[in-house]
Homo-oligomer: A and B are copies of this chain.
Amino acid sequence: MIKNTEGINYFFKPESIVVIGASDVAATFGTRYLQALMDIGFKGRLYAVNYKGDETLGLKIYRSVMELPGTPELACICVSAKYGPDVLRECHKKGVKAAIILSAGFSEYDEEGKRLEREIVEIAREGIRVMGPNCFGTYCPAGRVTVVPGGHFPKEAGGVALLTQSGQLAEGITAPAFGEGVRYSKVASYGNACNTNEADLLEYLMRDNETQIFSAYLEGVRDGRRFFNIARVNRGKKPIIIWKVGLTNMGAAAASSHTGSLAGDSIVWDTFFKQTGAIRVETREELIDTSIGFSCLPSGTGTGVAFISGGGAGTVIGADACEMAGMHLPSFTAGTAARLNELLPSAGTIAKNPLDIGTPHPPLEIFTKVLEALAESDGVDVIVIRRIFFAIKAARYFAGAHAPSPDQVEAIKQVPVNIKQKYNKPVVIILPEDLTGTEDIELEQERRELRDFYFRHGIPVFRSEQRAFVALGYLAGFRKDQGIHIDIPAKIDTESKGRALFLDTIKNAGSSVLDEIQCKKILKEYGLESTEPVLCKTEKDAVTAAENFGYPVVMKIISPQITHKSDIGAVKLNLKNANDVKTAFNDIMSVSREKAPNATLEGVSVQRMARPGLELVIGMTKDQQFGPMVMFGMGGTLVEVLKDISFRITPLSRQDASEMIRETKVYTLLKGYRGQASVDIPYLEELLLKVSAMVKENPEIKEMDINPLFAYEKNAVAVDARIILEAETI
């Protein structure tokens, strides 16, 4: 049985490869794959197999893997889906360590394909690592293997790894990224992920010494919980950049709790990104830009930007983009401002940050001295230069008779490099495509040459202010989180009595919804205080219970079918004497019979009336990909209207608990608002951790609401609660 990362290395650095399905027809997938491996210069032994035999690309084609004179480490299988299992079985028998099944026609296609894929999974379990099916393979310049089509991919390796479910995007993302200067350690198109999934590859790449930056295009994740855990424990170590697609069409699944109905797929992924510190990009361009940023700049780059532009509009656009990305433009000190004012031609420029240097083609000396002043200025972590004319053709084109000479342009071009080296200060350049006409292709050529020149000197070049600052913002954000989030999930000691009581309760529940009385007993075992209701079947019982508590009391219907009790009038508050209690008992029973004629009425609960507190909600629901999530927010009957809530995937860390409270609007009230006392926030954090622990210990819980929870200056009390069980539990 193959586990986790075992054998994954064979996908990237095999000693020898057999391509099964290569033939003498150049256009077949197998032959193209073989050709690509030859083109990129695979250095180990290459074999070809095809049941028809013959030869191709100078290699003998063996009729079967069994006939091979040696045992290849990796098999690349490009045969029809229906032959897939047999071929894989032979590979395993032969002693092949790993196989990439490139063929399509499996679970993504039809029922027969699903069956074939299950067979593949069974064979893989016997001890052969499988990637795919329905993928384009892997690219690893150090191992000289490549995807299809990828024979021409660079042989030079870099620090970026790329994971992509889509085969086409193995090339669709890398091809434009190569041009921008990005170099990869390892690229895997993993297709249907039947045996090697996102979590396996993430774990492998987090440990891989050749990979410094992890990037991925994800449509979904097979083992969300493991993927989450790996990303989380690696937080702050290597940047994890994810382009998650397919979010928009997936609404929240039908759910019977507040919490369930509020947790949409988009919210779940938001939560994933918050807890793992992974970077969420939204387009191919952002994925590439962010890869460029992390490839060029130290991840310690801060948020302080000195922005320089040759013209006023650039500074306004730059300042907008800068602030939107969470970066900032520190004010220049009086000393820096004085230096700049002396250097800059008077008209239209004032020495402030962002700095308008007044002309897109400043004289060499001015440009140099201005950049020196910026580099020496306090609080400047990175210098961003917008469209000064480094390009000879552009300078001529845009400046007309004003154009600097080619020598001047060449000298200006060198300045940012000199500054970067002299001060060891990150420099970023924005070079928009100014002319996009077909007849202006030479300018684009020159732009690309310039981009390459700067990239070679560790200066990333972006095409717009927005694209530059988005990448810089992610870079700065990554640094910020380092160390903080290494905080492991909090361990809360729970009495083992909690689990025992829970199991006992659900055994006798007879319904998938636990009632308020059952819930509150369980909550108590996990350390959550509540008004402890007593089930009363008669008027008399109710009065006895009330007298035991002392007045005032609250009474509610107990029925598994009645969820919104107050909506039908089956909740009575502030009952002050025995008469009130008797009347309430009868009113509640009769209104429940009337409004919910088919409901089973267990009786009426009596409980002490909690003194008014700040109304909060704590809930739990399960996501299909990531499992249990805890919710916190403003409570009461308006929870679904106000939607002032936050989520975290369990198990919660202390920091999770702290942050999820602080990102709600109700936090303003928790702190004490307009003369009101503050509530006990550390106590609430503790409660969230207890709920996280309870949820972990009792996987039979499908959804839960504690709503309202009354929060006070010193503690908090669950006023109402509901637990919904997994259907298979009862």
**A residues adjacent to B (C-beta < 8 A):** 26-27, 31-32, 35, 104-105, 108-109, 134, 149, 151, 164-169, 171-172, 175-176, 178-180, 217, 219, 245-249, 282-285, 311-314, 316-317, 319-320, 323-324, 347-348, 360, 398-402, 432-438, 440-441, 444-445, 448-449, 451-452, 464, 466, 564, 567-568, 637-638, 641-644, 665-666, 668-669, 673-675
Contacts and interface: CB of A to CB of B under 8 A. Distances in A.
Contact of A316 (B175, B245, B348, B567): B245
Nearest to A81: B347
B448 A436 contact: yes
A650 B319 CA distance: 31
Contacts of A452: 438
A110 to B, nearest CB: 9
Given A27-B402, A347-B109, A444-B444, A176 B245 contact: no
Nearest to A189: B313
Given A149-B398, A171-B398, A172-B313, 13 more contacts: A32-B401, A164-B313, A165-B313, A172-B432, A178-B435, A179-B435, A248-B319, A248-B320, A249-B319, A283-B464, A441-B448, A638-B673, A642-B644
Closest 5 CB pairs of A and B: A179-B436, A166-B313, A179-B437, A168-B311, A248-B323
Contacts of A164: 313
Identical subunits present: 2
A337 to B, nearest CB: 15
Nearest to A26: B401
A441 B398 CA distance: 22
A638 B676 CA distance: 12
A436 B180 contact: yes
Contact of A348 (B35, B134, B434): B134
B674 A637 contact: yes
A638 B312 contact: no
Contacts of A360: 168
Contacts of A31: 401
A172 B434 contact: yes
A617 to B, nearest CB: 15
A217 B402 contact: no
A643 B31 CA distance: 63
A626 B602 CA distance: 61
Contact of A464 (B169, B219, B285, B323): B285
A567 B675 CA distance: 6
Q: Which of A26, A360, A433 has the most CB of B within 10 A?
A: A433
Contacts of A433: 176
Given A27-B401, A641-B666, A166 B464 contact: no
B448 A175 contact: no
14 contacts: A27-B402, A32-B401, A32-B402, A104-B348, A105-B348, A109-B347, A165-B313, A168-B313, A175-B434, A179-B437, A248-B320, A249-B319, A438-B445, A641-B666
Contacts of A665: 641-643
A211 to B, nearest CB: 22
Nearest to A401: B26
Given A149-B398, A642-B642, A217 B313 contact: yes
A443 to B, nearest CB: 10
Given A149-B398, A665-B641, A317 B171 contact: no
A567 B180 contact: no
B320 A108 contact: no
A347 B179 contact: no
Given A27-B402, A168-B314, A400-B32, A108 B348 contact: yes
A179 B441 CA distance: 10
